[in-house]
Structure 1
């Protein structure tokens, strides 16, 4: 699974995120998405 979504690897294994290292979760990405419309 980490090969498909490497940005979620840490979250998948530990439940933790490290946005400063590019390791996020789907919830984090959705909450921090900018709407460009």
Structure 2
């Protein structure tokens, strides 16, 4: 389970970097809500 969480966080980190820190756009690209993005 921890490995999956770590992978998810890394994917979010990479997507945030790709979007210049734009959380709305990152959540959109990941297919999750902004609320979910903040929870992870």
TM-score normalised over the length of structure 2: 0.23
Structure number with bigger Rg = 1
More helix by share: 2
TM-score normalised over the length of structure 1: 0.23
